[in-house]
Structure 1
Amino acid sequence: MKLNKLLILGLALILAGCGHGFEGEYTEQVGSSVEFLNAFAQVAGEKTVVIGPDYIDSDGLRTEYKDIFVRDSGSQKYLILQKPDNSEEAWKIEDNDTLIRGGGLVSITLQRIQPKKREAYD
């Protein structure tokens, strides 16, 4: 019985250490298929976003999430950001280095520029 409990605890610790695979630093580009809106989006320029195991840093502000994980939905994959109140935001996974937020009139593309480095304080 003790062995089973130890195995379950060990497995839980291993799974807790696994990330969602999208940790890293990204550039964020705003775009639109509507020419007028796209002109405004281009003025906004690019900014850098850092995605961690359970947070996102943008413009020096950190947003904590209850969980960040990948969900399969048919043939498409989404990065799910689950808030403490269990509400969710879904970002489309284009490929291993590209995420897309939105998709209506305006969309935001996040392109990974470097993977997350493991720090001693992380």
Structure 2
Amino acid sequence: MKLFGFNKKENTFRITDLDREWVEDNFKWLIKFCGYPNRQSEQIIITEKFFPNAFSNRGLLIQNIIKDLSNLLGLHSSKIKFEIHQDLRDVYGMPFEMQGKPFETETEFTGDNYTIHIAKTIVDRPNRLIFSLINE
């Protein structure tokens, strides 16, 4: 920390009243916007406890993951549909070059329903599929 002058014998680094007020204002805004943390809430991890439908079958079914996520988020799973799309990555021996971010999942809002578009390439990769659906 010598680069910033913290370890010198003459310490000129001081927290001013403006700095202190700025931090307090930001915490007040966070509490007003988000509220206080709930001490009784538990961290949600990808286990059978929080995803009972997804772990109920031997195979990982997309609809079961959507049901579990809907229950956790308080959404109606009947309003969420999904479509699996095949692209050039699924064709064996097809030369292609990716530009930009590769398509894995994307959510489309249609009226009162949601449609999640899923690339076929991640259906066989359960961890990637779960994390992509959580993100969407």
Higher alpha-carbon Rg: 2
- More helix per residue: 1 or 2? 2
Higher RCO (Cα < 8 Å, 6 or more apart): 1
Verify same fold: TM over 0.5: no
TM-score (ref. length: structure 2)? 0.26
TM-score (ref. length: structure 1)? 0.28
- More strand per residue: 1 or 2? 1
